[in-house]
Amino acid sequence: MSTALKLPVPTEIPSQQPPAPIRLSENEGRLRSEFEAAFNDTRRPGFELHAAVWNVTDDLRHAGQSAESLVKRVKYIAAIPIAFHYRIGYRSAQLRLRDAVERAISLGIARYFADEGG
More confident residue, 33 or 118: 33
Residue range of the domain that includes 95: 26-113
DSSP H helical segments within 1-118, as ranges? 26-39, 48-62, 67-84, 90-113
Ramachandran area for residue 89 (φ above 0: left; ψ -120 to 50: alpha; else beta): left
In this structure, is residue 14 part of a structural domain?
no
60 is a domain residue: yes
Q: How many domains does the chain have?
A: 1
Examine residue 118 and state whether it is found in any structural domain, yes or no.
Answer: no
pLDDT tens-digit readout, 24-71: 899 999 999 999 888 888 877 778 999 999 999 999 999 999 999 999
Q: Is 93 part of any domain?
A: yes
Q: Kindly report whether the global pTM for this prediction surpasses the value 0.85.
A: no
